[in-house]
């Protein structure tokens, strides 16, 4: 690291500690780096500091900032020299980007202030009823429960017995013993993807898919280390309509998106009406 960076940072920190870092108008700003005819000034470095930064971290921060600034200016200079014929095109792109930045920031502010984000169960029901054809499944969904336990686990037989039981009491006891399982899924009232199950239990890939995906189907598999118990409760096949409970989060996002588009369209129409009344524009 160049010694001048250290003294630069030290002076900045001392000035910071006194809560004083201003230049009088008649004082020439102090440059800390130059690339061709472009200068980096001490003032420019103040924005990179945080309140609780240490002296050592400040030295590293300033050093990195100056080096990055130099590289950026050298690249910019080279680019401007070699792409001089693109200047007008780039200026137009910059102009358009600036306009889009202002417009999009304004839209985001309006949406944040005025968008109705409250979605009721009735809203979800109505959207699902009117659009259920777009919710066809592209893969199977299943309701199931499964456990994975060690083959040498002393609780293996008890866990298997509780798993196979159909009583609520045994299910609760099984949940209480979850710590003895390598993995498990005991809530058989929610839908999960078939592919997610296969990823979780790769050994099931060897099962015939058509036979496997049957209601009330029980499967017991094992490998060299583990025992797998699976009970299929319900199955929805590909191209069937997805259940509302499964796609409710997606429906809510769609409703919000529709509301956002409608809000922005109304704002645009209002702007046009107001501008027309005030004769703010003309079409020739």
Please tell me the distance from the alpha carbon of residue 143 to that of residue 124, in angstroms, as a whole number.
22
Please name every residue paired with 227 in a beta bridge, in sequence order, or none if there are none.
149, 222
pLDDT band for position 21 (cuts 50, 70, 90): very low
Q: Are residues 156 and 183 in the same domain?
A: yes
Query: Secondary structure of 228-246 in the HEC alphabet?
Result: EEEEEEEEECCCCECCHHH
Is pLDDT above 80 for 104? Answer: yes
- Compute the Cα dihedral for 79, 82, 87, 89 and give only its sign: negative
pLDDT of residue 155: 87
Q: Which two tokens stand for residue 21?
A: 């870092």
Same domain, 160 and 25: no
Distances from the Cα of 66 to the Cα of 28, 53, 56, 59, 270, angstroms:
20, 18, 16, 11, 49
> What is the number of alpha carbons within 13 Å of residue 119 lying toward its C-beta?
20
pLDDT > 90: what percent of the chain? 63
266 and 208 together in one domain:
no
- Residue 246 to residues 120, 135, 174, 197, Cα–Cα distance (Å): 16, 10, 26, 16
Number of H helices, E strands in the chain: 10, 7
What does the block give as tokens for 141? 């969904």
Higher pLDDT, 12 or 182: 182
**Does 254 lie in the same domain as 214?**
no
Q: Do residue 257 and residue 126 come from a single domain? A: yes
Classify residue 162: in a domain, yes or no: yes
Sign of torsion over alpha carbons 23, 29, 31, 36: positive
pLDDT beyond 90 at 121: yes
Residue 14 is predicted with a pLDDT of 47
Domain-located, residue 112? no
As for how many domains the chain has, the answer is: 3
Name the H helices within 178-238: 194-200, 209-212
> CB count, 10 Å around CB of 132?
13
* Residue 252: inside a domain: yes
State residue 25's pLDDT score.
Answer: 54
State residue 142's pLDDT score: 95
State whether 125 and 254 are in the same domain. yes
Same domain, 159 and 24: no
Average pLDDT for the chain: 88
Q: Is the model's pLDDT at 5 over the cut of 60? A: no
Mean pLDDT of 224-251: 94
- Write down the residue that tokens 């399982």 correspond to: 181
Residue ranges making up the domain that contains 219: 137-236
Is residue 75 domain-shared with residue 194, that is, in the same domain?
A: no
Q: Residue 74 above 60 pLDDT?
A: yes
Query: Which pLDDT band holds residue 1 (cuts at 50, 70, 90)?
Result: very low
Q: What is the CATH number of the domain that holds 228?
A: 3.10.50
What's the pLDDT tens digit per position in 151-197?
A: 888 888 999 999 999 899 999 999 999 999 999 999 999 999 999 99
Burial class (CB in 10 A: 0-12, 13-18, 19+), 243: middle
Q: Do 224 and 254 lie in a common domain?
A: no
Please tell me what DSSP assigns to residue 136: B
């Amino acid at each position: 690291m160049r010694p001048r960076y250290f003294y630069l940072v030290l002076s900045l920190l001392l000035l910071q500690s006194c809560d004083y870092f201003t230049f009088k108008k008649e004082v020439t700003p102090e440059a800390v780096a130059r690339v061709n005819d472009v200068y980096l000034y001490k003032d420019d470095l103040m924005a990179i500091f945080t309140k609780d930064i240490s002296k050592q971290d400040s030295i590293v921060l300033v050093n990195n900032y100056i080096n990055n600034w130099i590289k950026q200016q050298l690249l910019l200079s080279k680019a401007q020299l070699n792409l001089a014929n693109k200047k007008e095109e780039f200026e137009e792109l910059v102009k358009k980007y600036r306009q889009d930045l202002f417009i999009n920031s304004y839209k985001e502010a309006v949406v944040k202030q005025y968008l109705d984000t409250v979605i009721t169960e009735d809203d979800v029901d109505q959207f699902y009823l009117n659009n259920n054809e777009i919710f066809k499944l592209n893969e199977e969904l299943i309701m199931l429960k499964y456990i994975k336990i060690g083959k040498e686990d002393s609780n293996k037989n008890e866990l298997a017995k509780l798993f196979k039981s159909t009583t609520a009491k045994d299910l609760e006891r099984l949940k209480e013993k979850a710590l003895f399982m390598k993995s498990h899924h005991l809530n058989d009232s929610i839908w999960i993807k078939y592919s997610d199950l296969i990823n979780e239990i790769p050994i099931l890939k060897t099962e015939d898919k058509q036979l496997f995906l049957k209601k009330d189907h029980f499967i017991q598999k094992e490998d060299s280390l583990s025992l797998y118990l699976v009970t299929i409760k319900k199955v929805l096949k590909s191209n069937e309509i997805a259940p509302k409970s499964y796609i409710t989060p997606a429906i809510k996002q769609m409703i919000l998106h529709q509301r956002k588009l409608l809000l922005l369209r109304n704002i645009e129409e209002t702007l046009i009406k107001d501008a027309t009344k005030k004769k703010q524009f003309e079409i020739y």
